[in-house]
Every structure is written in structure tokens, then in C-alpha cells.
């Protein structure tokens, strides 16, 4: 059983950087065949993949956020983090971290992700 827990500020001011951390338990994030991701769910919409970090440390991002998004990891703490810069109220939503065990040069469908954090609400407001 893989456990993921998101943490970070729930309120971010417009134009600032949103920073969230996902702490993973029971498996090392560098373990082969464990691919880590961030999703978000805008109000009234489905889950949206925004980026991933692979066991090698390589990253992939959704084109709609490229230039603003960065995913990094701290292997000593078994954590991976999301940073989203220059936020606007449109970035207000619930953010989730998750895991999938396959990656074939394309982003797996949402239904393939099997372990999820509880989600954390982030509100962008002054």
C-alpha cells in the first residue's frame, strides 16, 4: 500500500508561486516502475493531469502550464514537490498527488493511477 500526503499553504496571493509537497510512504520515489504525478480538479470539471516526475528524475508537464510549472523531488525525504508560478484565481482548485506504475512515452489515462493523496485545496486570492 503506497501512501501519499499533500502539504502546503492553502492560500496564495495572485502573481506569487504555489508550492506543494507530496510525502510518500512505503516505497522509495526512485523505485523503478513508480511514476509520480500531480493532478488538479477545477470546479465543475474532471481531474486534470498537470505534470509528472519519473524514477530517473525526468519530468513531463502539461503544455497549458509550461513555463509556469516545475516538479522536483527530495529523495532524502522521499518527497516530490510542485511549484506553479505567477498564479491567478484560475489556479484555485484542489491539487492531488498520485502514482502510476506504467509510462510508455505518453501520459497514462487517469484511471491507471492507483494511489492518491487526499487532496489539498489551494485558493489564489489577495
d(CA 116, CA 100): 10
pLDDT at 91 exceeding the cut of 90 = yes
Res 116: pLDDT: 97
Convert the pLDDT of each residue in 1-16 to its tens digit.
Answer: 899 999 999 999 999 9
* Cα-based distances in Å from 118 to 2, 26, 49, 76: 13, 16, 16, 23
Q: What is the pLDDT of residues 29-71, one digit of tens each?
A: 999 899 999 999 988 999 999 999 999 999 999 999 989 999 9
Query: What pLDDT does 104 receive?
Result: 83
Helix, coil or strand: residue 89: helix
Q: pLDDT at residue 102 above 90?
A: no
Residues 39, 96 contacting (CB under 8 angstroms): yes
Q: pLDDT-based confidence at 73, cuts 50/70/90?
A: very high
Read off the pLDDT band of 79 (50, 70, 90). Answer: very high
Query: Bridge partners of 120?
Result: 95
Class of residue 97 by CB neighbours under 10 A (exposed 0-12, middle 13-18, buried 19+)? buried
pLDDT over 90 at 85, yes or no = yes
Amino acid at each position: 500500500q503506497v501512501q501519499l500526503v499533500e502539504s502546503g499553504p492553502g492560500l496564495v496571493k495572485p502573481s506569487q508561486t504555489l508550492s506543494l509537497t507530496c510525502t510518500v510512504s512505503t516505497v522509495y520515489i526512485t523505485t523503478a516502475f513508480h511514476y509520480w504525478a500531480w493532478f488538479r480538479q477545477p470546479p465543475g470539471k474532471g481531474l486534470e493531469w498537470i505534470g509528472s516526475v519519473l524514477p530517473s528524475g525526468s519530468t513531463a508537464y502539461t503544455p497549458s502550464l509550461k513555463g509556469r510549472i516545475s516538479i522536483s523531488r527530495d529523495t532524502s525525504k522521499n518527497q516530490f514537490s510542485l511549484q506553479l508560478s505567477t498564479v491567478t484565481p484560475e489556479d484555485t482548485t484542489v491539487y492531488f498527488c498520485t502514482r502510476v506504475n506504467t509510462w510508455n512515452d505518453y501520459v497514462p489515462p487517469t484511471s491507471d493511477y492507483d494511489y492518491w493523496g487526499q487532496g489539498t485545496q489551494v485558493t489564489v486570492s489577495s
